[in-house]
Each structure stands twice: as C-alpha cells, then as structure tokens.
Amino acid sequence: MDEAGNRTESIFRGITEHTPYAQVLVDHDGRIVLVNAYLERLFGYSRDELLGRSIEILIPERFRSRHVAFRQSFSEHPEQKPMGMGRDLCGRRKNGEEVPVEIALSPMRVEDSSYVLAAVADISERKRAEAILRRSEARLNLALSAANAGTWDWDMLEDKVTWSEGSYRLLGLKAGECEPSARNWLARVHPDDRETVKDTVDSVIKRFMAQGEQDAFNLEYRIVHTDGSVRWVYDQGQILYGQDGRPVRMIGIMLDVTERKLAEEQLAAQTRELARSNAELQEFAYVASHDLQEPLRAVAGCVEIIRRRYQGQLDARADEVISHAVDGAARMQTLISDLLAYSRIGSREHHFEPTDCQAVLNTVLANLEVPIRESGAEISHDPIPTIFADRGQLTQLFQNLICNAVKFRGDRKPLIHVGAERRDREWVFSVSDNGIGIAPDYFERIFRIFQRLHGRNEYAGTGIGLAICKRVVERHGGRIWVKSEPGRGTTFFFTVPTDIRAIR
C-alpha cells in the first residue's frame, strides 16, 4: 500500500473504529477498501476476508443484481443519504444469516479516487420491537373491535387528531371519510349534549391552568350518525402537558354503551312502574283493611250479642254455629289487623333515627309480660347496641320473634336468648330458643305471607308475623334467615347495616 493509502487508512481508523456503527469504505468499482471492527463483528468476517472483495459479498444473493445496478446509478449521481432516509435493507452474514440493517451513504474523494463510505446500523432489536408492537396493536385492535371501542389522540397545539378505526365506526364514519379533528368530533355530538361535553373538557384544562392539578375526564354522551341514528358512548380522556405546563395532547378511549343505556332506561321505567304498582297495592291493602274493620266490628258485635242472649237457649247445633261465627269474626279482625300492619311497613310516615335496642327490648318484654309469665319463659340477652332504625318497626320485629319463641315451645320451659354481634359494616342480631324447631324444607316458606306450618287448633296466628319481620328487616337494608332442627330449637338471625346510607 502506497503512502497515500496508508494515510487514508490511518485517518479512517481514527474516525471509525470507535463509532457505534459498522463502517465500510468502498471504491469506484465496488471493492471493499477498509472496514472497522464493528463491521467485522456484525457480519462475522475478518478484515482480511473482506478487503478487496466486492461489496455484494455482504448482500443477500436475491438482491445482488439489483444492488449492482443501484451502485452504478449512485456512482453516476453521488449524493449523501442520511441514515433513515430510504428503505430498510438486509445484510448477509458469513454464516448465511440475514440481518436487517439501515444504511447511510457518504460519497467522498481521496486524492483522485472516488469512494463511498457506508455506515451500517444493525436494526434487529428495532425490528423485533416493531414486530412486537404490531402484534400488540393487532391484539388491541381486536379487543377494541370486540368491545366496540375506539381510541383517539388529539395534538392540541396543532389541532391534529388521530382516530382509530373503532373511533371512526363509533362516530358513524368510514375510515378516512372525514378529517379527524376536535371540531369534526364535536360536530357529531348530539346538540343537547354538546355544551356539556365541551364545558367538561374545558374545565379540566382550566382547572390545571389555575391550580396545577392534573386531571382526566370521563363522561357519557350521545353521538348522531349520518343516517340520523343515535348511539351512546362512554368517553375517557387524559390531558398531557408539556414541560412549560401547557396542555399539549389529549388521549382517550371511547366505548359504545348504547345497549347498557337502553337497558338502564328500561330498568328505570320498570322500577318506576313497579314502585307505582307497589304504591297502589299498598294503598289498596291499607284502604281495604281499614274500611273492612268497621263493618266487621258491626258483624262481630251482632254475633256477640246473639251469643250472649241465645247461647244455651237453642239446640246444640245452634250453639255450635254461634261459636263458629264468633271465632271466625275474631280471626278476621286479627287477620285484617295484621294485614294492615304489613301494608304500613313501607309507609313514609315512619322515620329512621338512632334507636336504643335495649330500650326496645324492654318495651317488648313489657308487652309480652302475660305470655312470658304464663309459659315460665326465661329470657336473656347480650349487650345490645344503639342503631339507626325505625323504633316502631324494630319493636314489632323483636316482638314477633320473641312471641314465636314463647308460642312454639313444646312441652319444655322456654329458654330464649337475644344476641348481637358487630361484623364488618353491620350488626347481626339473633333470637334463639329451645322450642319445637323447624324442618329445613320450610326455611324459605315461613317468610311468605299467610304461610302456616301448623293448624289453628295447635297454634294460634295468621301466618303474617314472619312476613312482617322479613319486610321490616329488608326495609332497614338487612337480611333475615333461620337455622333450626326439629325438636332442637330455632335461631332467627337478622342484620342491620351500620351505614345509614344502606337503609331503604
């Protein structure tokens, strides 16, 4: 190698050996003149194996003929080609493997000779990342399509918006049919919702500008399609800010929630209809029960007069009929009274307030003093709390449960215990006894109105008591259930939430 060549190589070595790219110097005829160590490592050739060889040794065979033509064309019209300008290429390693590369070309002259310096970047990692990104985007698009959703990205400084295919679809547009922009998006928003949507987005930006508070928005609004159809969308966006604190971008996702909104509207309509129907039924039950009492009292009074005047003066059959009439009138009065009590449970006349359960229990025991004394019942209780409740209904609840415990005692002395335990966000109350018990098959049935497990000749009652208990507990936002075994006693449990917002 002559002195000029040595000087050229020395300069090349000094410049290229420590660059982060593979570099190769090629002469006018396409022969490799110089390479750096990075290129040796990238392609697996030693320097001696490359020097003097055609540059096509580093090109996959299927591209070599085209590369020769490209090299000749470049030689006739040499110009610098920065990296990233042009197509991605493939190089061929010594072992035959292909490696994706990006190439920058710089024509140069040394003395009277023309050369091309090629900087070669291995973009294998980038290509792998791009492939992963493409697969991720494909999965995302599939998920968005399945969810009937779309994404959007708004460059707020240039008012440039990017919509995904799903966003076009949600806006009632074909991809590319309309230029994406905030203005065109807002034009698709239902006129009745447009001002609210615009104010929501503006308020997020203003709040940040005034308070430095990062924020996002989410709202539901209607989109009007070209054919006039209306769809509901859920839109969630996040504002991104530049280093100077100014909002620069907003990104977000839209979901089609039309079916959910329609279902909610239908459910709301059904709820309103059910509430109206229940109110009418409650009013009917109240009026019917109340209005029936007066004529029933008259009938019961007349029957009682007949019993006092004529019982024992007629034959046995007449006495039996009179007795049945008196008993029937009395049962009817009790039934109507219980039905009236049941219908009143949902009345707005009742008020919830802090209620001392110990005071309620004392009232109940006083009300039941006679049956408790006659049965010899022993009643114990845990310390019981003050809760937020309707005092009158809570009294009715405890009285019904304790009365049942006294009534269904069998042959044993009744032992009754009232318990209370705090569990998470509710109180769990219990009323247990050692009475005749209940078979598991009847655990659900006993809470239905007018359900009786025994004949009237065995145990008196209308079958409304536990139905009233269930309705009271549910109105207080709780649950009621029973555990029992025939002959081994019964325990009724009910809950009352500690959070008054759960009270109905």
Q: What is the CATH number of the domain that holds 399?
A: 3.30.565.10
For residue 305, is it within any domain? no
pTM of the model: 0.44
Question: Are both 375 and 487 inside the same structural domain?
Answer: yes
Question: Are both 43 and 164 inside the same structural domain?
Answer: no
Question: Are both 354 and 493 inside the same structural domain?
Answer: yes
Question: Are both 35 and 91 inside the same structural domain?
Answer: yes
- Which of the listed residues 258, 281, 301 is the one where a domain comes to its end? 258
The listed range with the strongest mean pLDDT (2-16, 244-258, 481-495) is 481-495
User: What's the pLDDT score for residue 202?
Assistant: 81
User: What element of type H or E holds 169?
Assistant: helix 165-170
For residue 332, is it within any domain? no
Question: Are both 91 and 53 inside the same structural domain?
Answer: yes
- Which of the listed residues 258, 283, 317 is the one where a domain comes to its end? 258
What is the chain's mean pLDDT, rounded?
A: 81
Between CA 477 and CA 101 the distance in angstroms is 69
Would you say 124 and 100 are in contact if contact means Cβ atoms under 8 Å apart? yes
Least confident piece of the model among 120-124, 237-241, 323-327, 451-455:
451-455
For residue 327, is it within any domain? no
Question: Are both 116 and 134 inside the same structural domain?
Answer: no
Backbone angles phi, psi at 369, to 5 degrees: -55, -45
Backbone angles phi, psi at 5, to 5 degrees: -65, -40
Question: How many folded domains does the chain comprise?
Answer: 3
pLDDT band at 455 (very low <50, low <70, confident <90, very high): very low
Of 292 and 416, more confident: 416
Q: What is the CATH number of the domain that holds 10?
A: 3.30.450.20
Q: Which residues of 483-499 are buried (b: 16+ CB within 10 A; e: fewer)?
A: ebeeeebbebbbbbbee
User: What's the pLDDT score for residue 97?
Assistant: 93
User: What's the pLDDT score for residue 361?
Assistant: 94
* Domain boundaries, position 60: 1-123
For residue 267, is it within any domain? no
For residue 274, is it within any domain? no
Question: Are both 118 and 183 inside the same structural domain?
Answer: no
Question: Are both 382 and 490 inside the same structural domain?
Answer: yes
pLDDT band at 494 (very low <50, low <70, confident <90, very high): very high
DSSP bridge pairs for 417: 380, 432
Question: Are both 140 and 89 inside the same structural domain?
Answer: no
pLDDT band at 268 (very low <50, low <70, confident <90, very high): confident
- Nearest residue to 496 (alpha-carbon basis) of 468, 477, 475: 477
For residue 246, is it within any domain? yes
For residue 182, is it within any domain? yes
- Which of the listed residues 228, 243, 258 is the one where a domain comes to its end? 258
> What one-character DSSP code corresponds to residue 282?
H
For residue 3, is it within any domain? yes
Question: Are both 113 and 137 inside the same structural domain?
Answer: no
Residue 327 pLDDT > 90: no
Question: Are both 372 and 407 inside the same structural domain?
Answer: yes
Between CA 333 and CA 240 the distance in angstroms is 73
Question: Are both 74 and 110 inside the same structural domain?
Answer: yes
Q: Which residues of 332-346 are buried (b: 16+ CB within 10 A; e: fewer)?
A: bbebbebbbbbbbbb
Mean pLDDT of 440-469: 71
